[in-house]
Structure 1
Amino acid sequence: MDLNKIGYLVNEGLYYPAVLNEVGKNGVPLQPLFEGFTNAIEAIAGLTSPASQHQITVRVYYDPDLFDEKQMNQIIIEDTGIGFNDQEFQRFLTFKDTRKGFHNRGSGRLQLIHFFSSVQYNSVFEENGVLKARKFHLSKSAPFLKVNAIAYLDEYGLSEDSYSHTSLSLSGLLSAKDQAAYNMTLANYKEAIINRYIQYFCIHRNTLPKIILQAYKGNVPDELLEITAADIPALDSQKDFSLNYQTLDGLRFQEKTEEFTVQAFRIPKTKLGKNVITLTSKGEIVEEKDFQLTLDILRPEDHVGDNRFLFLVSSPYINDRDSDIRGQLRIPWRNDDLSLFDGDIIYMDDIESGTNETIVKMYDELADKAEEKLARLSALKEMFLLNDHFLNSLNISINDTEEKILEKVYVHESRLAAKGDAELKKQYDQLTLLDPKAKDYDNELNRIVNQLVKEIPHQNRAALTHYVARRKLVLELFQQVLDRNLEIQQKGRNEDEKLLHNILFTQGGEAAEQSDLWILNEDFILFKGVSETRLEDITIAGEKIFKETRTAEEEAFVNANREKRLTKRPDVLLFPAEEKCIILEFKTPDTNVADHLAEINYYASLILNLTKDQFPFKTFYGYLIGETLEPLDIKFNDSDFQDSAHFDYAFRPAKRILGVFKNFQGSLYTEVLKYSTLLRRANKRNEALISKLFPSADDNDEPF
């Protein structure tokens, strides 16, 4: 590639359309600002003169016609660093060049063109004792990709300037939803930069380059701010710890170790809203949610002597495992899919625990907090007969109140019991393979029983007694509603559906793990979900799943015939995994469910077609539940339904869900069944659990 030839800069060794798909858009809207600022830091670091003699300027241009509201039109980031000489320019243009400073791999510029339509560079640099200028711009538009390029050299030649410098201009956001992140005050930009580069600023607190932020209304200067040492907290304490590599199966530790460093900053509570522990990579905070660490010994809102703490964890191990989408680390948690990794590793779980252990050693007052936590756990352990092994398997923080700790205990307990029920079912299924006439019949039967007993440790049976007792009461209440024996059912209008709905999953609730959906399926209490929530208000991980900005065609459909389709409230939606959705619809016992077969299809169609692109739901499971069910009515309404061979329900293996506003189709599996069938199944599971957990020839020894 001729670096100095005006025109497209074509990299013959890459196919950029594929590269841009591989290195996707970062989830942090301000990432281009941070990429530009990082490049400015690197450019100054490339000089031999002290950084304190140089300057970084961030210019934010706002729409001059708006008064109270800020609307960013352009950002320019300038530095007096080394500039794009031939060597730096070659590195800039080389994808995955491991020689780049600050562990860069050359993917940052891809983030610039993922966010902005106009990315302009103007750089002056020294080459062989002569100052030269290089002006170029980046784009992923069709003309660029057609010739397999993302860079175009506009100018190259001698410069009349007296020093090296570079400016990066960003304008024309490609996505309207990113605009809000940039429409903030200059003070907010200052705060965002400080928060992002807190480790760099803290380490270089007394040798920072001059950092200026300038706001403009149109082209008229409006405000000037500076980041100085006074804005940066001083390092309060620092301590290293080491971790051994492990084999991928986690069974063996290796002799090889990696060093990790914990830097602690004690900051007045008026300046730091909460205690924070975070990883840093390449001098930047890792913001991705999947790599957030839990601080065990302090609540976020706690303060010690009117101060809070910022803990930064760094290591060459973290730097080396930062991916092309910065902040995406190739470090697994123990419960991750390990098929994506190879070789010896250090788990994120161990980094988290090693960091917390190190923090306790750094501060006596925090060690006291740890002692308080142990005292609280000890009291709960004695009160609720919890064993140490059980407690150690839970992620219990000093943040947690007694109520929160017990909630974690019971959720974990339900997971174990659900697993146990599944094992019970497995053992029950093995019964059908036994031949009572066979000579080894008694031995095989005892083997199945013994295997079942091994699944449930004896020391947990006290807790499980409480668990199955509660289930038994819930099932009795469910039966009372079906028999219409509750006092509330004897007066007023028929609200049986509401009663049954609230037993299974409280209307308006969002905590499926606290529901009694195990009556339908044991797995359902393990999934995230909502009950009786308007479609437009449903969120996953804090983000609404339905589009808030729609095309004209989508908007016309959503409000056609004044129906306001996104205000509809499915009874229950569960989200077991990416691209999957479970839809539950409940009907009053005296309602013929055959008249409502289309409802689940309709909800699945709305979800597939009108959700955001990051929520591509493709596989749906529907359960229509009532009590008035005639099998022929079901088939006459939809001949694709079949009778179950072994259970009292009808099912449809697959129904195509049409993708009108999406470029893919979906598939819906549906079951239609009775409340009484659910109750019968759940009672059998619970009775089997009770009889196997508490075997006794004496009824007086039974738990109920």
Structure 2
Amino acid sequence: MRKNPFSDLQGMLNLIKASKNPFSPIVEALNNSLESIFKLDESGDRNITIELCFNDQDENSKQLEFIEITDSGAGFNKESFERFERLLDRSKGFNNRGSGRLQYLHRFGEVSVKSIYRQNEGYYLRKFSSCKDNFIYDDSVSELIDKNNLKTTVTLKQLRNHKKDNTSYSKLKFSSFVSWVKSQFALRAYLELTKGKVFPTINLKFTYQVAESETLTIKPDDFPKPTNSGDFYVNYQESFDDNGEVGWRKPKGFKPEKFSWCVFSFPADDVDIHGAFLCSKDIPVEEVKNSVLKKSNGHLGNKMITAFYGDFLDKPDNVNHSVDSFTIPNKADVKELSNSIFDAEAEVYIDDIIEQANKQLKLIYKEIELAQESAERKVMLLAKELGISSHIAMSVKKIVKLSDNEEIITKNLHIEEAKYIADKSNKARKVIEQLELMDPTATNYQKDLEKKSEELSSLIDAQNKEELSKYVVRRELVAKLLDKILNNDLVAQKKDLSAGKSRRDKEGFIHDLVFKRKSKGNLNDLWILDEEFIYFDSFSDVPLNKIKSESGLFMLKDIPLEEIKKLQLKIAKRPDIFIFADEGKCVLVEFKAADIDLSEHLQQTEKYCTLIANFSTKKIEKFYCYLIGEDFSPFDLPSEYDQTVNGTWLREKIKIIDKTAMRNVIAYGQQELIKLSDIATRAHRRNKSFAEKLGMDTFMD
């Protein structure tokens, strides 16, 4: 038996477009389940189960197989089914427009329904399916002899081949889905409670063909109550001719529309978003853009969602059929004077609603706004300290989050600086690529060359040259400070030792110059060793068992105390500098005072490498070690050390052994011995090269 709707289905699908929200079918099904449940009295079981089933046989991706939504509502009784047959039937109530079911067919090839419902005194099972070609088919009704519980299951199969949809579902994490459901339905859960209705329990489930299922139950009490709430009003407006321009005024006889808002505060890990939304039928439809509200931001351990709602926003004609935007007119669209606009009825405009909503947000998020301003000031101060151009800092300022600490801000500043330089480099590359068109034998060659030189030079504006000058000067100061430390010229090195101190911390001067001890992050002068080091996640004088990767994972495993004692492991040892380089690689730096013989400390870094290689959480197979001081004789070095072209001494292919089992080779290391004076000399040489090009060489000298 086949049925088609009492309107042209394909025509309706062309007229009513797919929602921009790939999860709109789930929203539609959940809303239908809620409305079906709220038709019943309070005595029955009230629950909804949402299951997403994935094919995860490909370890690199997962594909959605089907979505199943089950509820204990009234179900598809005779009246409900007849309404379902008629597209755009508004008789259901709840401010519905009768077009939501089309969102199923926009995204899924088949929709199947099984519904146990009560009609008069009997219980019946109704089954039917739906697709684009046949709106309703394979429908049947059978009476149940035994009394049964009410239960309706809607199954959405065959996700259509839209790249955005496939990506949205394949990358969807269970935790994010839980977050989405909580944030989407927090307002409705609260408003139903104010009406004396018990919100149903929502069971969420992800099932897989390979991995274990993930489940979670959201009980009514799991939805937060508002931490703040309020109302505001928006006047109707009519247009008029204001000296040849479009003007706006409040018409007589129109009462302003009332809007309400609620703020819901979630633990920061419970939701992914932190923002504000205009809602219709108690569900977020459009985001209210506000510079203070960063989507990924939290504040004081919480993320807040503000919902704006009201009868005006609930009107079916004020929301498009796709339920992803409002159809409320915009003043900005009335750009030209015409006779027609002055005959138009007074309207409430979306511009005015958003303007008033933002005024509320400014009050609601005053504390966050102040914290955001503080974070932005921190960006500018750090940029100044690092010698990074203010226009680059302004770019980072726009994206800084409240939770960003100095290390993250510094990293973002360097990243933005690198992007800026890369853009300039690409433009420069295009100029250079044109060199092949030049002819040195041509009479105008010198003029053409000068023109190309000017083009390249123009890519470095005056501000950048000034910032580069600061950058070079700062680096030269660091190199000169190293000279003075080696010569014991610093006043601090000559001060009398305080009472109780028997020796001076000579190594500390060098260590703190390069990278302040007991600190981490990018605020350092590791460039003096290698330019790349300043961009890596690094630690200074931090115990090995306290070092964490950027993801928060400890570098060393949690080693049992008995094993630590048995193997006499020194897990709290502190390398002078530890750097996470590429995957499976790290850098270790040890400084020694100028009067310490380096040849007596050749095994120190190797011990660190052995400990890390044997007990690291993520496998580290390559170690780059630097032993830095001033005093050593090549005569005292083992034969494995060879002199490099830079005059340093390098030992390659140091075998790192598995000390706990088979004693096989599990990693390799290398160690380079470098004199501090050589480092200073190379730093001066690099700085001088920059200074000459900037015309600062005399000043630097």
TM-score by length of 2: 0.49
